[in-house]
Amino acid sequence: MTRPAGSPEPLTRFATTLRRAALLCCVLAPQAFAANILFVGNSFTFAAGTPIMQYRANTVTDLNQNGTGGVPALFKSFTAQAGLHYDVFLETNPGVGIDWHLDHALGKIGQRRWDTVVLQSYSTLDAAHPGDPATLVRSVKRMAQVLKDKNASVDIRLMATWSRADQTYLPTGHWYGKPIVAMANDVRAGYDQAAAGAGLVNRVIPVGEAWNRAIQSGVADANPFDGIDPGKVNLWGTDNYHASVYGYYLEALTIFGSITGRDPRAMGPQECAAADLGISPESAVALQHIAHEQLSASGVALASSTPAAKHVACATLR
């Protein structure tokens, strides 16, 4: 059979096809590999006092082998529902700051190159000197350098936490007599100092400010000591110190939006984790909107995510 003039040899056509396939492979390959993220923190990260502490622990890797899911597992659930691929790790210990992790957990933290790391320290900035960010500033600088030495392109985030009701409404509290938003604002200022001092931190995640916004907008109650107003959620747990499932849910939504750039509102009323945890669709949507508003106010550019076939994702997650 005679080939038309100018037509390629069969082997040439085959080679061209292979080159195109290889190029397509290279274009699509990044989507096939999961980015890794490490959460370093304390009970505010592992969600002490709630079912979230053990929530879907099989979907994340606890470097301390305590079987903890916590907020990292919520983050994992959100990313899976959004069609994103993250390998999620956590290294947590109760009642400590970043300085403790430097002294006791560097062997675990330094075991690999991390793509993203979220650092969360003691709730009052310093257990011995509430409100003083000096130890936090020093610790973040040291930890950031350790992480950068392992991976120069690591994305380091700091998580600024919430106002504790016990620190605000009880006479023994450092913020006693001040507005409920004051502690979170002071904590944020401390984390801002730490980020500036390190020079290697990408962003501070405004979890405490999201709590403030939820309170000021009427989604959440401002004072658990005088009862919870009808139609509002209580962000604090029974100790008025740690978070409730609502508080940790808002924390995870804020982290999710900050890290991924996806709009938390796209999770919607049928979001899987909320259903698992007994959070009503109305409350889930309200908290998703709060996270969106706070992230937008903090300068985070959010792209709408399309949770395609979310019912399939939920069935898979469960």
pLDDT tens digits, 26-38: 333 333 457 999 9
Each residue's pLDDT tens digit, 75-84: 999 999 999 9
Q: Cα 8 vs. chain centroid, distance in angstroms?
A: 54
The per-residue pLDDT for 143 is 98
* DSSP annotation of 193: H
- Beta partners for residue 192, in sequence order: none
The per-residue pLDDT for 207 is 99
Residue 213 tokens read as 């916004």
Each residue's pLDDT tens digit, 252-263: 999 999 999 999
Each residue's pLDDT tens digit, 127-149: 999 999 999 999 999 999 999 99
Nearest by Cα to 277 from 38, 36, 40, 78:
78
Q: What value, to the nearest 5°, has the Cα angle with vertex 43 and ends 38 and 47? A: 85
In this structure, how many other beta carbons lie within 10 angstroms of the beta carbon of residue 316?
11
Of the candidate CATH numbers 3.90.228.20, 3.40.50.1110, 2.40.128.20, 3.30.1490.150, the domain formed by 33-317 belongs to 3.40.50.1110
The alpha helices in the chain, defined as continuous H runs, are 10-32, 43-46, 70-81, 98-104, 106-109, 134-150, 165-169, 181-198, 207-216, 245-260, 272-277, 281-297, 310-317
Q: Of all residues in the chain, what percent carry a pLDDT higher than 70?
A: 86
Is the per-residue pLDDT at 199 higher than 70? yes
Could you tell me the strand order of the sheet in which 61-62 lies?
Answer: 61-62, 86-92, 35-41, 116-119, 155-160, 203-206
Is the per-residue pLDDT at 8 higher than 90? no
- Beta partners for residue 37, in sequence order: 88, 116
Q: Using an 8 Å Cβ cutoff, are 249 and 279 in contact?
A: yes
DSSP collapsed to 3 states, 271-312 = CHHHHHHCCCHHHHHHHHHHHHHHHHHCCCCCECCCCCCHHH
Q: Using an 8 Å Cβ cutoff, are 43 and 121 in contact?
A: no
Q: Using an 8 Å Cβ cutoff, are 79 and 261 in contact?
A: no
Q: Using an 8 Å Cβ cutoff, are 119 and 66 in contact?
A: no
Q: What value, to the nearest 5°, has the Cα angle with vertex 31 and ends 27 and 35? A: 130
Q: pTM of the predicted model, to two decimals? A: 0.89
